[in-house]
Amino acid sequence: MTAKPQQDLCVGVKIPLGYRLKKRLTEPRFYLMLFGVLTFFFIYYALVDLFKVPRFRLMPSLVDAGREWFSKDPVYGISFYSDIYYWHIWASVRRVAIAFLMALALGVPLGLMMGWSRRFYDYTFPILEMLRPIPILAWVPLAILMWPTPEQSMIFLTALAAFFATVLNSLLGVESIDRDYFRAAHCLGASEWDLFKDVIIPGAMPYVFTGLQIAMGACWFSLVAAEIVSGEHGLGYLIWESYYLVQFPVIIIGMVTLGFVGWSCSSIIRVVGYKLMDWKVRSEGRG
| pLDDT, tens digit, 9 for 90 and up, residues 168-194 | 999 999 999 988 888 888 888 888 888
Do 278 and 197 fall within a single domain?
A: yes
CATH number of the domain bearing residue 255:
1.10.3720.10
pLDDT digits (tens, 9 = 90+) for 194-246: 888 888 988 899 999 999 999 999 999 899 889 988 778 999 999 999 999 99
Do 45 and 77 fall within a single domain?
A: no
Three-state SS letters, 73-91: CCCCCCCCCCHHHHHHHHH
Candidates 109, 107, 211, 97; CA nearest to 155 is: 97
Do 124 and 255 fall within a single domain?
A: yes
pTM across the whole model: 0.85
Do 212 and 273 fall within a single domain?
A: yes
61 φ/ψ angles, rounded to the nearest 5 degrees: -75, 135
Counts of helices then strands in the chain (DSSP H, E): 13, 0
Asked if residue 237 is part of any domain, the answer here is yes
Which amino acid would we find at residue 4?
A: K
Do 45 and 186 fall within a single domain?
A: no
The Cα 240–Cα 231 span in angstroms is: 10
- What pLDDT is recorded for position 10? 47
Do 44 and 92 fall within a single domain?
A: no
Asked if residue 246 is part of any domain, the answer here is yes
Asked if residue 84 is part of any domain, the answer here is yes
Mean pLDDT over each residue of the chain, to the nearest integer: 87
Quote the number of domains for the chain: 2
DSSP-assigned letter for residue 286: -
Asked if residue 11 is part of any domain, the answer here is no
Asked if residue 198 is part of any domain, the answer here is yes
Asked if residue 205 is part of any domain, the answer here is yes
Do 43 and 163 fall within a single domain?
A: no
User: Residue 136's domain spans which residues?
Assistant: 72-283
pLDDT digits (tens, 9 = 90+) for 247-256: 999 999 999 9
Candidates 246, 211, 218; CA nearest to 76 is: 246
Do 34 and 102 fall within a single domain?
A: no
230 φ/ψ angles, rounded to the nearest 5 degrees: -140, 15
Do 54 and 153 fall within a single domain?
A: no
Asked if residue 16 is part of any domain, the answer here is no
The Cα 123–Cα 121 span in angstroms is: 5
Asked if residue 65 is part of any domain, the answer here is no
Do 159 and 256 fall within a single domain?
A: yes
pLDDT digits (tens, 9 = 90+) for 39-86: 999 999 999 999 989 888 889 999 999 999 999 999 999 999 999 999
The Cα 88–Cα 75 span in angstroms is: 17
Q: What mean pLDDT is predicted for residues 112-123?
A: 92
Do 108 and 227 fall within a single domain?
A: yes
The Cα 75–Cα 56 span in angstroms is: 23
DSSP-assigned letter for residue 36: H
The Cα 106–Cα 185 span in angstroms is: 27
Do 172 and 90 fall within a single domain?
A: yes
Tell me how far CA of residue 176 lies from CA of 119, 199, 204, 267, 269, in angstroms: 18, 12, 7, 24, 21
